[in-house]
Every structure is written in structure tokens, then in C-alpha cells.
Chain A
Amino acid sequence: MKNENKLKGRDLINIGIYSAIYFVILFAVAMLGMIPIFLPLLSVLVPILGGIPFMLFLTKVKKPGMIFIMAMIMGILMLLTGMGPWPLLTCAIAGVLAEICFKSGEYKSAKKAVLCYGLFSMWIFGNYLPLFTDYEGYFAQRADYGQAYIDAVSKLMPLWMAPVLLAACFVCGLLGGLLGRAILKKHFEKAGLA
């Protein structure tokens, strides 16, 4: 049994393919975050749009560890794109939770898949964490964006936004999961990909 659960080359390549698609979508959306009003909205847009590739990814997940590896890769990429070390931590936590959740559905339950994506989406919160834990430092780093940007962001991001953002990630993750499933049914199953 143990051997069957080991990740093989094909599984690892699949992780790479879907992480790449997910990251491209994430990156395209994250560029909007430069406009202050969109910064909190990222926790809405990214989970919803990312749901499409993630749901497709889950149809290929049959072994433990794949979701966790994808989460860790996202963490490493965030580190490389200058978001600091916090996302690594949230990625690890969200990855484990999502993994456990999808495993409890024996890697095929559709409801668990949606819930799994909701949990997975919570890693995005890690990108906001420095805003709340190290407020001064966060803006000292972004001083060259101009005072107007800083004012706008600090007005949008009072401390009580922290739990709201976390919840938004989760709820929008669920919505994104549902959207992903709908698209999966409409397009990818027909095309023979799912």
C-alpha cells in the first residue's frame, strides 16, 4: 500500500503545471493591488479566480501530499517575489488543513473539494500579515509609493480588518470552489481533461 501512495514523476509534474497556472492568474490579479482600493479586494478576487485551476488540479490529486507541496511552492514564490517570509508560514498551515480536509473525502468528494479550496485560500492572508503585525515597517518599505498611497491603504486597513480578510479568503475560496466546479462541468469534462 505504501508504495502506491508515493508521489511519482507524473504527480510532481502535475503539481508544477497547475501551480504555474494558479500563479499566473494570481500574479495578474495581484498587479491590481497597486491601486489602494483593490488591496483588500485581492482576498476576494484571487480565491474566486484561482478556484478554476485549483478545482481542475484536485481532479488529479489522488495521493497525500500534493496539495501541501503546491501550498509550499506558493510560499516559496511569494518569498521570491518580495512578500517576505510570512506567506511561508500561512502556506504550511493552510496546506496541511486543506490536505486533511480533502483526504477525509478520500480524494473524490466534491463537497470536500470545495471546502478544501476554501481552506487552501487562507494562505493568501499571509501576504497581509505584515500590515497588522509590523505596521511601521510595512510602510517604511513602501515609502517610495508616495504618501497618498500610504494614507489610502492605512485608511482601508484598520486592525479589525485582519479577521475580516481571513474570513473573506475562506468564504471567497468556497465561492471560487463552486465557480471552479461549475466551469469544470461545463468545459473541462467535455474536453476530457477532468
Chain B
Amino acid sequence: MAYSSAQAQEKRRGFLDPRTKLALVLVLAVFVMGGLGGGQLRQIKTVLSALPFLLLLAERQWSRFAKGLAILAIGYGLLLAMPYLPGVLNYIALMCGGILTRFVVTVVMGEYLVATTSVSEFISAMERLHMPQTITIPMSVMFRLFPTIGSEWRSIRRAMAMRGIHLGGVKGGQVLEYQLVPMMTSTVRIGEELSASALTRGLGAPVRRTNICRIGFRAQDFVLLAGCLFVIAVWILELGGVKLW
């Protein structure tokens, strides 16, 4: 019989392998947000843009799905309303719409990656890619800390606003000092605790670390990875001047 924790791991196993998720983030960042590639890729990009939303549905992340969809709707709404707005508003609507529709896909994909990948899954995936620890450990610490920093910053802003220290209230320099400094202080403290806890669990020990996470490629991973390769292949063909359609 398997250990109960191993069973739990199998149950919690995500829909995709972390490596597939990373490949998708890269492809989306480069092609959809970075805007690489010309006319031929336009249809492909539309398909790619739908992908993170489908993945969120597959992982049953309803609230994130709704949030992403709402932002997308606002973006396209602005773009649609743009021609009917006067002067400066027109320009602002176009810019906000352009930015929102462009960023939201990659942001949703990034959220999907962070929300559905545990740190151990990430590390074991990186180990199988033979990434050196000198890169993977700082990276995983960073991804673990981003939400923490966000929530710390929010509560510090609230506390400082109560004392009348907010943008528009007092001088910019003061805002900086009284918001950034506490944010950094608390983040560093949290980080120190994190590092103590990680070290007791053997991170950075001279022996090789084992992991009970179950990762590995399954059918859906192969399909999506093939999709990534296809996009890259189309792009290279396009660079070579080959017209596919």
C-alpha cells in the first residue's frame, strides 16, 4: 500500500506538468504580449489567448476565471467605445484598452501557473530540466514571496492612510519612506523565517534532495507542448519567408 501522503499527492496532482506550464507562459509572453511574429500568426494568437482561460476552467479556478474575463471585457469594451468618445478620452480609452487586452492573457496565464503549482512541484520540475539550483532556489523564493509582498503592502498602505500618509496627502518623499521601508522590513523578516524553515527541511544541503511530488508528462502535456512547437515552427517559417496560407 502506498503512503497516505503519496496518495494525497496523487490527488492534488495538477492537470498539467509544471514544465508544460512554463513553456506555455514563455510562448504567451513572447508571442502574445511581446507581439513577435506577423500577420500569419494572428489567428494562432487568438487561439493561444483563449488557452489560459480554458486551463483555469480545467483546474476549477472559477473566481480567477471570472476576474480575467471581466478585465478582458472591460478592455474590449473600451476599444469598442473608443470611436464615440471625444478628444483626450478617446486616446485614453484606446491606450487602456490596448494595454488591458494585451496584458490580461499573459497575466491570467501567470496567475494560473502560480496558483496551481506548489513550490515543491516547481523545484522538482526544474531539477528534471537540470536547471542549476543557483537559479531555481531564488526563483521559487520569489514566486512564494510575491503574494506575501502584495498583501503586506496593502495592509501597510491602509495603516498609513489612517495616519494621513497617502499619495496626494503629504509629500511624495514621505509616502516613499513610510510605505516602502515598512514593506521591505516586514518582507525581509518573513523571508528570514522562510529561509530558516527551508533550511531545516534540507534545502541547500550537500546531499541530493528527494521529493514526493508526482510530476510527469501526460497526454494533455504532449498536446500542449506540440502546440508550442507548432507556433514556434510557424514563426520560423515566416521568418524564412514561407507563406502557409
Contacts and interface: CB of A to CB of B under 8 A. Distances in A.
B216 interface: no
A9 B204 contact: yes
Interface string B71-103: 000000000000000000001001100110110
Interface of A: 7-10, 12-17, 19-21, 23-25, 34, 49, 52-53, 56, 65, 69-70, 72-73, 76, 79-84, 140-142, 144-146, 148-149, 183, 187-188, 191, 193
Contacts of B184: 21, 52-53, 56, 188
A179 B231 CA distance: 46
A20 B146 contact: yes
Given A9-B203, A24-B149, A16 B101 contact: no
B188 A193 contact: yes
Contact of A146 (B91, B149, B204, B205): B91
Interface string B105-123: 0100010000000000000
B contacts with A: majority SS: helix
Contacts, number: 144
A17 B149 CA distance: 10
Q: Which of B25, B133, B180 has the most CB of A within 10 A?
A: B180
A145 B95 contact: yes
A contacts with B: majority SS: helix
Interface stretch (B33-41, B218-226, B234-242): B33-41
A187 B205 CA distance: 34
B95 A13 contact: no
Nearest to B180: A52
A25 B134 contact: no
